[in-house]
Amino acid sequence: MSAFSEANRKAFNDLSEAYNSKPWQRKLSSQVSDALQERKDWIGVQWATEDNKREVKLLDYACGTGAITKALGPYVTSMQGIDISEKMVEEYNKAALSSGLQPEQASAVVGDLFAEKVPDSLEGPRFQNFDVAVVGLGFHHFEDPALAVKRLVERLKPTGVLLLVDFVPFGEERKREEELRAQNPDADFPDMSRTIKHNGFERADMEKLFTNGGLEDFSWAVLDEQAVMELPKGTVHRTLFIARGRRPATVWGKLTTWFGGMQDQASGQVGSVMRADHGR
């Protein structure tokens, strides 16, 4: 684990017990949850339904206490959380169990998919072939966004969807913070502010990351309502976005779709002929 990742691990460990305990934190979680549920069809995953209990696997990366899992849980059959913070993982698992979910339905483990060498503990069927992988408000903490996208895409099944929820650029806010630090060198600023690697993302930058990472069908949505965050340095407002991309189908999968389309077209032509004959 890099020094920067270790700083993130410690910071989120310190936050774990009080995470999502303040009104603004709960409001932010609710905003993200509502946005994802309202865009369920736009996301483009074949979700599990009451009528169709197909297996649908969710990877909740940088899962924290499980906000993304709670938002998309009704539409999937199994949820796997991964986080570098062991205390966040503890909170996630406690919440899952208290909700009546069995470990095979929802559980989290400590791990780092972006390490130079991914640990063996994150290999195997349990950590592969996800229908959807989501990072909720964690991407701006990642040291190497290009590597992050690449490693997450590797965990998707063909046609699986990568979904990122994060902030559009908030550079002015960081500039003000740096000025405050310079003016108050002895002030006790929270460690969390030191673990932000990127001041948000533009659409063009995100689309390039997705394309270079091997994804297609990129789409981007900006939320109308801003997030209001009550931080030690004061109240800040940030704009949220959701970015989506799909892992391409395998060659066989594309051929199957092609032949299926040809069969549908042929069936339509046959049906037209039969209707014409019937009308004579």
Q: What is the pLDDT of residue 140?
A: 93
Render pLDDT for 21-62 as a digit per residue (tens, 0 to 9): 899 999 999 999 999 999 999 999 999 988 887 899 999 999
Residue 259 CB: number of other CB atoms within 10 A? 10
Distance in angstroms (rounded) separating the CA atoms of residues 69 and 74: 9
Confidence of residue 191 (pLDDT cuts 50, 70, 90): very low
Query: What are the start-end ranges of the H helices in the chain?
Result: 3-15, 23-38, 40-43, 67-72, 86-98, 145-154, 171-183, 203-212, 251-279
Distance in angstroms (rounded) separating the CA atoms of residues 18 and 38: 28
Render pLDDT for 227-277 as a digit per residue (tens, 0 to 9): 999 887 788 899 999 999 999 997 655 554 455 455 545 555 545 544 445
pTM score, two decimals?
A: 0.83
Q: What is the pLDDT of residue 256?
A: 45
